[in-house]
Amino acid sequence: MNDLLKPYIPMVKFIAEVFGDHCEVILHDLTNLESSIIAISNNHVTGRQIGGHITDFGLSVISDPAFKDRDFIVNYEGHTDNGKKTFRSSTFFIRDDQGTPVGLFCINYDITSWLQVKKMVDHLVAFSSEFSSGSAAQENPAHPNVETFSSGIDGVLQTLLNRTVYEMGGDVIRMLPEEKRQVVAQLSQRGFFNLKGAVSIVAKRLDVSEQTVYRYLRECQD
């Protein structure tokens, strides 16, 4: 065993105990690739033992010039050969004075159970495709397919008005009279004018008189 690797041996058990039973920690000696594992903790994670061989990934990174100046690689994906377990893996390169890799300090965290939890959570928080409009709905509370729970009736009025204006482009100042009439028509279809004070709020927002709002309403009903 290369003497440079000896100080890392106590770290194997230390890190494994810090992160718990799902964390496998391995120290590889690259002078003997067929029996490279010289220290391991929580080996139940992958079932490997001291004297085990280097992995395909380990073999490739120590041979690839793209990694010659890297100190470590973190959070890449790993699997058991039967595909039943998934790991978030990280590798630290141990080099000699010439920069040649002499060892690998590897951490493999079993995230199989967490991926199942993630799948359940993704299912739990998924929105119906009938009403959800993806990121547009999530990023803009005024989007028509987002329900807002307001603390008062004024909040309901403002939310409905904001959504309808949003559908028309969002810029009231540049709206033509026909576009403002369409805003009133949409609001009427959504029950906006069943609430007290609705006409006054719309008139102020669209910069028209209340009489104009009433005229738009009559035109929509004709």
Shared-domain flag, residues 91 and 141: no
Shared-domain flag, residues 136 and 34: no
Whether 107 has a pLDDT exceeding 60, the answer reads yes
Res. 130 pLDDT band, cuts 50 70 90: low
Distance CA 168, CA 190 (A): 15
Shared-domain flag, residues 136 and 106: no
Domain boundary among 115, 150, 168: 115
Higher pLDDT among residues 145 and 198, named by residue: 198
CB 198 within 8 A of CB 183: no
Domain boundary among 84, 115, 146: 115
Distance CA 1, CA 119 (A): 43
Shared-domain flag, residues 90 and 146: no
Q: Is 96 helix (H, G, I), strand (E, B) or coil?
A: coil
Q: What is the CATH number of the domain that holds 72?
A: 3.30.450.20
The predicted pLDDT at position 52 comes to: 93
Distance CA 70, CA 5 (A): 18
Residue type present at position 79: H
Domain span including residue 14: 3-115
Q: Is residue 213 one of the residues assigned to a domain?
A: yes
Shared-domain flag, residues 61 and 153: no
Q: Is residue 120 one of the residues assigned to a domain?
A: no
CA 44 to chain centre: 30
Domain count, the chain: 2
The predicted pLDDT at position 129 comes to: 60
The predicted pLDDT at position 141 comes to: 45
Higher pLDDT among residues 208 and 68, named by residue: 208
pLDDT digits (tens, 9 = 90+) for 12-23: 999 999 999 999
Name which of 200, 203, 191, 134 is nearest 160 in CA terms: 191
Whether 133 has a pLDDT exceeding 60, the answer reads no
Contacts from 136-145 at CB under 8 Å and sequence distance 24+?
140/166, 142/166
Whether 137 has a pLDDT exceeding 50, the answer reads no
Q: Is residue 166 one of the residues assigned to a domain?
A: yes
Q: Is residue 123 one of the residues assigned to a domain?
A: no
